[in-house]
Amino acid sequence: MSSLTRILRGNMRQYGMVIALVSIVALFWFTTDGVLLRPLNVTNLITQNSYILILAIGMVLVIVARHIDLSVGSVAAFTGALAAIMMTRWDVPWFLAVVLCLGVGALIGAWHGFWVAYVGIPAFIVTLSSMLLFRGLTLVVLNGATVGGLPQGFERMGNGFLPEVGPDTGLHNLTLVLGVLLTAWLAVLEVRKRRSAVHYKLEVLPQPLFLAKLVAIAVVVVGLCFVLAQYRGLPVVGLILVVLIGVYGFVMQRTIVGRHVYAVGGNVEAATMSGVRTRRIDFLVMTNMGMLAALAGMVFAARLTAANPKAGVNFELDAIAAAFIGGAAVTGGVGTVAGAIIGGFVMGVLNNGMSLMGVSIDWQQAVKGLVLLAAVAFDVWNKKRTSVGGGAGAEDTSVAPPPPDEVTEELAKQRTGEPAARTS
């Protein structure tokens, strides 16, 4: 088997999800006469799905660590309601209310982490309990009524846009500049990753395909920014998402903590014997999930310009679906932040495209369910195919995340007989 074939087979799930997203976008672009990719609709796609994407980032970490969190919708509703009460009834400045509610979300996540990591209760049970608890507390805090009149600065989290700068070009200049800078940054990361792999004699894409990959990244990023620049530019929540994707992508791929999360999810017994503090990892991922749920709840309240007792319903299902569709494995140990974002956009584009076509909400739910089932079925089939093709002890790399540079170097040193550097 050629090296190119092995590389493509080893990343089938990642490339498959990207191809699926592009195909869905092309389908709805054609069936809606181009409405799907109009600047206003693209902006709406980002803002309407922002809180689900935030939850998906945290959820993929939880799933990689072999857990699940069913409480994120209720926690999001509770923290959004608490923020609204702070700002409208207690006269707390909006930025301080945001910080305090992020802290409340982290405390809720730490509460989950305590029961899961140190008491040993399954996360499914702990978070199911919290789903009921915080749904009830949301009704108590709001007294069953909607709370509006939120400060304008807070509402900008969900509805605001980056400011206009520079000369009048008919486009949003700052968005275009950010698009170019982001493209350059992504290209540098890809080149560095390729050079590291070549240096340690690991398989890489052929030069023409690698250049095509860089061109594709540039076209997508700059093209998206150009579309957004034709309306009002990048939404504030879009900038929040870019920062979160960058930070969590770095943590999961380039830090010891991220590698430990993968190790715990892949084989908790082996991770324990290797010296990984597995309880601390479980505690951290649950705490982080609570904080991101609080952020998602406040973004949702800011978008609606009010805190609603019914907020957060089914948020947890959408976040879990986004993570699984994006490549996370049901058994843990596999999944990426970028994959969760792609999965979230698959769900978002399906919702938006079917709404533009006039498909009823009933059929939308049915289609989303079938997509989730198909994604997980593909994962199971791909693992069986890899196992059969590589022998009984074959390693499944079809949905594995890209290894961090440090891990790549250590593996390469082991292959060449050089001593591996200590990482802890």
Q: Residue 332: inside a domain, yes or no?
A: yes
Q: Residue 328: inside a domain, yes or no?
A: yes
Which alpha helices (DSSP H) does 11-151 contain, by range? 12-31, 39-64, 72-88, 94-113, 123-142
Give, in degrees to the nearest 5, the angle at Cα 113 between 107 and 114. 90
Q: Are residues 148 and 284 in the same domain?
A: yes
Q: Are residues 153 and 47 in the same domain?
A: yes
Q: Which residues contact 47 (CB under 8 A, 6 or more apart)?
A: 158, 159, 235, 237, 238, 303
Q: What is the CATH number of the domain that holds 107?
A: 1.10.3470
Where does residue 73 rank: exposed (0-12), middle (13-18), buried (19+ CB within 10 A)? buried
Counting the structural domains of the chain, the total is 2
Q: Are residues 86 and 40 in the same domain?
A: yes
Instruction: Determine the average pLDDT of the residues in 312-340.
Output: 92
Instruction: Determine the average pLDDT of the residues in 104-127.
Output: 97
Q: Are residues 216 and 297 in the same domain?
A: no
Kindly state the tokens that stand for 231: 């309306």
**Cβ neighbours, 10 Å, residue 164:** 12
The pLDDT, as a whole number, for residue 211 is: 93
pLDDT band at 415 (very low <50, low <70, confident <90, very high): very low
Kindly state the tokens that stand for 132: 């009921």
pLDDT for residue 424 is more than 80: no
pTM for the predicted model, two decimal places: 0.89
Instruction: Determine the average pLDDT of the residues in 350-375.
Output: 89
The pLDDT, as a whole number, for residue 397 is: 38
HSE value, Cβ hemisphere, 13 Å, CA-based, for 289: 33
HSE value, Cβ hemisphere, 13 Å, CA-based, for 276: 23
Place of tokens 């923290």: 79
pLDDT for residue 421 is more than 60: no
Q: Are residues 178 and 303 in the same domain?
A: no
pLDDT band at 352 (very low <50, low <70, confident <90, very high): very high
Q: Are residues 365 and 311 in the same domain?
A: yes
Domain membership of residue 229 as a residue range: 165-234
The pLDDT, as a whole number, for residue 6 is: 61
Give yes or no for a contact between 339 and 328, defined as CB atoms under 8 angstroms apart: yes
Q: Which residues contact 119 (CB under 8 A, 6 or more apart)?
A: none
Q: Are residues 145 and 174 in the same domain?
A: no
Kindly state the tokens that stand for 311: 């907020």
pLDDT band at 418 (very low <50, low <70, confident <90, very high): very low
HSE value, Cβ hemisphere, 13 Å, CA-based, for 76: 31
The pLDDT, as a whole number, for residue 408 is: 45
Kindly state the tokens that stand for 314: 């089914």
Q: Residue 324: inside a domain, yes or no?
A: yes
Q: Which residues contact 329 (CB under 8 A, 6 or more apart)?
A: 63, 335, 379, 399
CA atoms of 38 and 288, how far apart (whole Å): 35
Mind spelling out the 3-state secondary structure of 354-393?
HHHCCCCHHHHHHHHHHHHHHHHHHHHHHHHHHHHHHCCC
CA atoms of 37 and 243, how far apart (whole Å): 24
Taking the mean position of all CA atoms in its chain, how far away is CA 195?
Answer: 27
Q: Are residues 207 and 318 in the same domain?
A: no
Q: Are residues 52 and 179 in the same domain?
A: no
pLDDT for residue 399 is more than 50: no
The pLDDT, as a whole number, for residue 204 is: 83
Q: Are residues 195 and 260 in the same domain?
A: no
Taking the mean position of all CA atoms in its chain, how far away is CA 280?
Answer: 22
Q: DSSP 3-state assignment of 307?
A: strand
Q: Which residues contact 97 (CB under 8 A, 6 or more apart)?
A: 83, 86, 87, 154
Instruction: Determine the average pLDDT of the residues in 358-387.
Output: 82
Q: Are residues 134 and 275 in the same domain?
A: yes
CA atoms of 332 and 247, how far apart (whole Å): 21
Q: Are residues 114 and 75 in the same domain?
A: yes
- The kind and range of the H/E element at 14 are helix 12-31
Instruction: Determine the average pLDDT of the residues in 243-265.
Output: 95
Q: Which of 114, 24, 126, 18 is nearest to 70 (CA)?
A: 126
Domain boundary among 234, 269, 287: 234
CA atoms of 253 and 250, how far apart (whole Å): 5
Which of 5-9, 36-40, 145-149, 199-203 shows the lowest per-residue confidence on average (mean pLDDT)? 5-9
120 to 65, 105, 123, 267, 383: CA distances (angstroms): 14, 21, 9, 17, 29
Q: Which residues contact 404 (CB under 8 A, 6 or more apart)?
A: 253, 254, 255, 258, 259
